Each structure stands twice: as C-alpha cells, then as structure tokens.
C-alpha cells in the first residue's frame, strides 16, 4: 500500500476514535437573545436565536463564548443525542475576552451534567501543532476536522478595541448544525473556542488556552473581576523625525504614550503623556509595540498585560522621559470605564424622555448602530467625543446627549434637534442621567427649563407645565417608562 493511503487511513481511524469519545464531552447551547434598541432605549429589538457547541468542564460547568449568550433571555443546554435539555444560567461572563461560563439552573440539571465526561484544559500549543475542531451533526454524529496552528496574534473578537491572544488555524471545515462557535481540542484536551472562520481562506481563529485559563481561574471564587489594563493610549515610534524629537537612539524601540486614563494603573504609577514605553517586565518593545514571545514569535505588547497577569499583579515598566531612561512599578487593575463605555452588553441603557426630548448616555455601541461605516456615518461631534474623551471628562461621569426629539407641543421648533451634548439644565452641570433627572425635578421660578448645550443652538427652553403634560400623554400612549436611572 502506498504511504499516502496508509497515512490517510491512519488519520481517518484517529478521527473516528475521537468522534466516538467526544459526544459526551460537548453539549449544544441554544440561546434567545434580545438587546436594547439603540434609538429607543426603553424598548428591545426582536428576539433572535443562536445555537452553538460548547465544552463540558468539571463541576457541571460549560464553557462557551460571551457572544453566544450576550443579552440572553433564555439559555438551554442540550446533549448531542437530544436526550437531555437543561435550562442554564451564566456563572461568569467576559465580553472583552469573549468567554462565558454556564451551569444548569436546576439541581437536577447539574446532576445530569455531572455524568458527562468533563474535558481537561490543554496547555499552550506551539506553531505547527495539529488540533481537532469538533462539530455535531443534527443526527448527533460528531464531525472532527483536523487543522494546523499557523500563527498567533493579539486579536479583537467581540468587543472592538479589546485584544486577546488568538491562534490562527488552517482547516477546511464543513457546514454543520450548532456551529456558531465550537470547541477545539489538542490531544483530547480543550485548547480553545472558535471565534471566526473564513471559508475562503480556510482559516479559523480560536481563543488561546492562556486566556481561557486566566478566565476560569478568576471565576473560581464566584466573584469574577476581569482582565487588567494599563490604561494608556499609544502610537508607534517608526517615523525618523518623531524619533529624533523623542531622543530615541536607533537601537531603541518603544511606544509613545498619547494618553493616560485618570485613576488607571499607569496614572497611579506616575506615567505621563509624552513618555515612551520601552519595556514590560524586562521584555523590550520594538517601534511598533511588539515583543519576542517564546513559541509565538512576535506579539503585541498588550498580551504582557491582559493575557499574562491577573488584576493585582505588579509589573516593572521601562520608560524614556525627556530622553532619559526611567523604571516604574505598577499594580495592574481594571481599566476605568470612562465617560464613553466601549460597550453596554448585559446592562440596560439609562435614559430620560422629557417633553418629547430623548436624552441618553453616549456609548460606543450607540455609535456602532449607525452601520458598518459608523466611524464616518455617525454624528461628527459624537465621534469627536469618542476619539478625544479627555476634552469632555471634567465634571462628567457619562456624556449625556439629546438623541431624538419627538414632535410634541413642548418641542415645537426643536423637532430636528438631535446628537447634541448637554452641559447644564437649570444651571446644574450634567454628569450623567441621574443628575439630569434631578436637574429637571427642580421647578424653575419662571416656569421655564433652561438647557445649555454644546452645539447649535447653545441654549434651548422648555415650558415646565407643557413638558409635564406631554410626559403624561406619552405614558398614556404606551411609553413604558419616562426614564431609567440604573444600568
């Protein structure tokens, strides 16, 4: 027999054995998800259903992606043969890392799941290693696709702007049921979870085991904290003239620090805007912010923060300030959310409807609702606030703006008013929706609410009696609530 056919038979036999063993270690997840309407925050969008394949872990726990169960009204686990259907709940979820830990919501369900064969976690893999991608057909048959790890990179998989270590695997997957995300195994152990697949390039992205290990370790005590952040904005130091201005020698790499978030780990360590970050725990950074990682080649610097150390860890940072080397020590912490959150998953948006004007707190999720080209289609002033939040931070916890004007007797002349940032109401600075609600409760002496805006017009006036009358009518016409002051 020719060597090619011998190898093919051996591979087929191996995959068949894996398929027979795996069906009791994976489980289907079905979720019904319903998010809040970005333009009507008192309402929700139509329910959507999603199905995936998850990994069974010890202690009657199940690992899937956060994207799978975000804003879920109902979650159900189902065995591959359809014999068991178990309602489930979320134990821990990390939207940034795109991971969620589930468990059956009843004692009976936990007992049933405890009889499954739990998967053990795999250690880190290496470039060139072979992995197996697991799918389950509608008839309960396992479909195992071999793949080879081609690379590793720090990638954003769910919440834009949050990057985590990801393996890139070359594999030719088939279409199968419940494949929104699926487990990936190495030597019979759970290596990662699929987050994307390109059928054109036959490339699979999977969450790396280092990230899964850190997530599960954090979730052990039932008080999930999340991954840390240094709390800085950076830019490359590749431009020759820029490097001369920074007094960077030709053999030095590093990232120019463009912003330090207030109350962040970097802020508390004394790092300043204008410093150059040259190393993290002795790992030198190149001009693009990459470092040499054992087994992976070059990785972006953020993995040294978000994938290698938990909250509370102490790191040594090498800096260059005014051309002179400096070393500081910092204790890692969660990044401050800031006045414009990167997402609102799992939270109800705060809002106020007053006389027909709709007030909201600006989030990146709101801007992304403008479509695929949101970065150019969203209102320019709101995009400016997103890109330069430091210009708006003073005196604010959140950025409150008017998102829409419902035509009513109280908004006569203001029907086209939208996407305007609110600075003061009745002389009171507005730091968030609760402060806005409090400001409107103050009845002005002249019976007119005065709103100071960051835009044109810069001041508008609302008749207090007219707005109160409109508010009552809006409730009678079906608006469920005039405000929400808690997330």
Q: How many degrees, rounded to 5, is the angle at CA 352 between CA 347 and CA 355?
A: 160
- Taking the C-alpha atoms of residue 72 and residue 65, their distance in angstroms, rounded to an integer, is 13
Cβ atoms < 10 Å from Cβ of 272: 11
| pLDDT tens profile 31-83 | 999 999 988 999 999 999 999 999 999 999 999 999 999 999 999 999 988 89
Q: How many Å separate Cα 329 from the centre of its chain?
A: 28
- Taking the C-alpha atoms of residue 214 and residue 199, their distance in angstroms, rounded to an integer, is 30
| Residue recorded with tokens 């960051």 | 454
User: Which long-range contacts (C-beta less than 8 Å, at least 24 apart) are formed by 388-394?
Assistant: 389/338, 389/339, 389/340, 390/259, 392/339, 392/421, 393/262, 393/338, 393/339
- Taking the C-alpha atoms of residue 188 and residue 345, their distance in angstroms, rounded to an integer, is 33
| pLDDT tens profile 255-301 | 999 999 989 999 999 999 999 999 999 999 999 999 999 888 899 99
Helices (H), 350-410: 364-368, 374-377, 380-387
Query: What DSSP designation does 444 have?
Result: -
Confidence (pLDDT) at 307: 87
| pLDDT tens profile 102-138 | 999 999 999 999 999 999 999 999 999 999 999 999 8
Q: Does the pLDDT at position 374 exceed 80?
A: yes
Instruction: Give the residues across from 235 on adjacent strands.
Output: 256
Q: Is the pTM of this model over 0.75?
A: yes
Instruction: Please classify residue 481 by burial: count the beta carbons closer than 10 Å to its beta carbon, then call 0-12 exposed, 13-18 middle and 19+ buried.
Output: exposed
Q: Are 82 and 47 in contact (CB under 8 A)?
A: no
- Taking the C-alpha atoms of residue 152 and residue 158, their distance in angstroms, rounded to an integer, is 17
Phi then psi for 179, rounded to 5 degrees? -115, 25
| pLDDT tens profile 396-409 | 999 999 999 999 99
Q: Which domains does the chain have, with CATH numbers?
A: 3-113 (2.40.10.120), 130-219 (2.40.10.10), 232-331 (2.30.42.10), 351-484 (3.20.190.20)
Q: How confident is the model at residue 151 (pLDDT cuts 50, 70, 90)?
A: very high
CA dihedral 370→375→381→385, nearest 10 degrees, is 110
Q: Closest Cα to residue 238, out of 226, 219, 223, 255?
A: 255
Structure tokens at 280: 């993290």
Cβ atoms < 10 Å from Cβ of 133: 26
| Residue recorded with tokens 């007053």 | 354
Q: Closest Cα to residue 243, out of 278, 285, 287, 291?
A: 287
- Taking the C-alpha atoms of residue 55 and residue 274, their distance in angstroms, rounded to an integer, is 45
Confidence (pLDDT) at 178: 74
Q: Which uninterrupted H or E stretch holds 102? A: strand 99-104
Ramachandran category for residue 349: left, alpha or beta (phi over 0 → left; psi -120 to 50 → alpha): beta
Confidence (pLDDT) at 5: 43
| Residue recorded with tokens 């992976």 | 296
Contacts of 418 (CB under 8 A, 6+ apart): 379, 402, 403, 404, 405
């Amino acid at each position: 027999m020719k060597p090619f056919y011998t190898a093919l038979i051996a591979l087929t036999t191996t995959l068949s054995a894996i398929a027979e063993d795996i069906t009791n270690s994976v489980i289907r997840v079905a979720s019904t998800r319903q998010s809040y309407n970005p333009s009507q925050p008192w309402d929700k969008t139509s329910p959507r259903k999603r199905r995936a394949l998850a990994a069974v872990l010890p202690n009657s726990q199940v690992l899937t992606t956060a994207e799978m169960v975000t804003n879920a009204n109902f979650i159900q686990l189902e065995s591959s043969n359809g014999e068991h259907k178990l309602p489930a709940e979320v134990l821990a979820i990390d939207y940034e890392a795109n991971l969620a830990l589930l468990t059956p919501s009843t004692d009976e369900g936990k007992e049933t799941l405890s009889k499954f064969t739990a998967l053990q976690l795999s250690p880190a893999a290496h470039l060139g290693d072979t992995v197996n991608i697991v799918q389950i057909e509608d008839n309960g048959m396992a479909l195992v696709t071999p793949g080879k790890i081609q690379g590793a990179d720090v990638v954003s998989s769910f919440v834009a702007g949050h990057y985590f270590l990801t393996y890139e695997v070359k594999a030719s997957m088939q279409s199968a049921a419940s494949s929104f995300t699926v487990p990936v195994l190495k030597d019979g152990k759970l290596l990662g979870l699929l987050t994307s697949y390109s059928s054109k390039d036959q490339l699979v992205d999977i969450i790396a085991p280092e990230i899964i290990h850190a997530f599960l370790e954090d979730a052990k005590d039932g008080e999930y904290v999340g991954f840390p952040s240094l709390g800085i904005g950076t830019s490359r130091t590749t431009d020759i003239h820029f490097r001369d201005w920074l007094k960077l020698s030709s053999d030095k790499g590093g990232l120019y620090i463009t912003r330090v978030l207030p109350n962040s780990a970097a802020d508390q360590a004394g790092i300043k805007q204008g410093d150059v970050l040259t190393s993290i725990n002795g790992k030198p950074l190149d001009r693009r912010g990459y470092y040499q990682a054992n087994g992976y080649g070059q990785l972006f610097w953020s993995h040294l923060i978000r994938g290698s150390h938990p909250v509370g860890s102490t790191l040594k940072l090498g800096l260059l300030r005014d051309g002179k080397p400096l070393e500081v020590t910092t204790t890692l912490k969660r990044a401050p959310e800031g006045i414009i959150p990167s997402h609102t998953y799992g939270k109800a948006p705060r809002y106020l409807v007053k006389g027909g004007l709709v007030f909201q707190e600006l989030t990146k999720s709101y801007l992304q609702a403008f479509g695929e080209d949101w970065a150019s289609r969203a209102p320019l002033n709101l995009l400016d606030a997103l890109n330069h939040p430091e210009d708006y931070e003073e005196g604010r916890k959140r950025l409150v703006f008017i998102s829409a004007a419902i035509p009513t007797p109280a908004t006569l002349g203001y029907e086209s008013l939208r996407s305007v940032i609110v600075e003061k109401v009745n002389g009171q600075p507005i730091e968030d929706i609760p402060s806005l609600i409090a400001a409107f409760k103050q009845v002005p002496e002249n019976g007119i609410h005065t709103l100071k805006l960051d835009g044109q017009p810069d001041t508008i006036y609302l008749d207090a009696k007219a707005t109160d009358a409109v508010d009552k009518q809006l409730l009678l016409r079906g608006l469920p609530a005039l405000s929400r002051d808690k997330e």
